[in-house]
A and B are shown apart, each in its own frame.
Chain A
Amino acid sequence: EDQVTQSPEALRLQEGESSSLNCSYTVSGLRGLFWYRQDPGKGPEFLFTLYSAGEEKEKERLKATLTKKESFLHITAPKPEDSATYLCAVQELYTGFQKLVFGTGTRLLVSP
């Protein structure tokens, strides 16, 4: 069964203090790995899709990387507005395009 594990559960950073979030996954065949951002009381907002090991994508202060077993979301010089829950999800090769299997997320708090 597909499984996604995220660590740490929560992370507190000072503004400007760079760090990384981890997403470990087990899937029979990977169609894509997704990163979403979720603010309190809102739905997940799409950040990145990664398809194959070695791929990297960047957006502002965020950079996502992918290996065969895990993905990292690197946050460089974060700002308070980066505070949110970051969700990792996989879309499996054999079960279609609609089902995402999510991890439990990492709650990030960036203090000024």
Chain B
Amino acid sequence: DAGVTQSPTHLIKTRGQQVTLRCSPKSGHDTVSWYQQALGQGPQFIFQYYEEEERQRGNFPDRFSGHQFPNYSSELNVNALLLGDSALYLCASSLWRGQGASGANVLTFGAGSRLTVL
């Protein structure tokens, strides 16, 4: 059973360029979230997608955008790259649960895409 797969694993860009990162969720999952992890820090929530719509967003500028496809896979796009965008970008998948449901939701993470901006 394949877990969460991300591509590419590593990439190098220069300031001002644009980047697209890709994610395939774990089999059976329908919701994808993206996180940014700077070196030595914990992951920070960027946004989540369900039914091809952005459902929730963290404190990230509009340069960060995403998309979810009918097969539940997702892309993260970052425009006008800054040096500070250098980080490990993590994709996490889960099953969607409505706000009124009880309990908590375990997120399954991929290995990440390491982005270096020069």
Contact between B106 and A34, CB atoms less than 8 A apart: yes
B76 within 8 A of A: no
State whether A104 and B42 are in contact (beta carbons under 8 Å apart), knowing that A98-B31, A99-B33 are contacts in the complex: yes
Contact between B109 and A91, CB atoms less than 8 A apart: no
Interface string of A3-37 (1 = CB under 8 A from B): 01000000000000000000000000001101010
Contacts of B109 in A (CB 8 A): 36, 43-45
Contacts of B45 in A (CB 8 A): 98-101
Q: How large is the interface on B (under 10, 10 to 19, 20 to 34, 35 or more residues)?
A: 20 to 34
Contacts of A104 in B (CB 8 A): 40-42
State whether A102 and B106 are in contact (beta carbons under 8 Å apart), knowing that A44-B90, A96-B55, A96-B99 are contacts in the complex: no
State whether A98 and B106 are in contact (beta carbons under 8 Å apart), knowing that A41-B111, A42-B111, A104-B42 are contacts in the complex: no
For the complex, what is the distance from the CA of A63 to the CA of B69, rounded to whole Å? 39
State whether A43 and B110 are in contact (beta carbons under 8 Å apart), knowing that A97-B105, A98-B55, A99-B48 are contacts in the complex: yes
Contact between A46 and B106, CB atoms less than 8 A apart: yes
A89 within 8 A of B: yes
Contact between B111 and A43, CB atoms less than 8 A apart: yes
Q: How large is the interface on A (under 10, 10 to 19, 20 to 34, 35 or more residues)?
A: 20 to 34
For the complex, what is the distance from the CA of A46 to the CA of B104, rounded to whole Å? 13
Which listed residue (A32, A45, A98) contacts B56, Cβ 8 A? Answer: A98
Interface string of B21-41 (1 = CB under 8 A from A): 000000000010101000011
Contact between B108 and A46, CB atoms less than 8 A apart: yes
For the complex, what is the distance from the CA of A49 to the CA of B92, rounded to whole Å? 16
Contact between B90 and A43, CB atoms less than 8 A apart: yes
Contacts of A101 in B (CB 8 A): 45
Interface string of B43-56 (1 = CB under 8 A from A): 11100100000011
Contacts of A102 in B (CB 8 A): 42-44
Contact between B48 and A105, CB atoms less than 8 A apart: no
A87 within 8 A of B: yes
- A residues in contact (CB < 8 Å) with B: 4, 31-32, 34, 36, 41-46, 49, 51, 87, 89, 91, 95-105
Query: Can you spell out 8 A-B residue pairs with CB atoms less than 8 angstroms apart?
Result: A32-B104, A43-B109, A43-B111, A89-B42, A97-B96, A100-B43, A104-B40, A104-B42
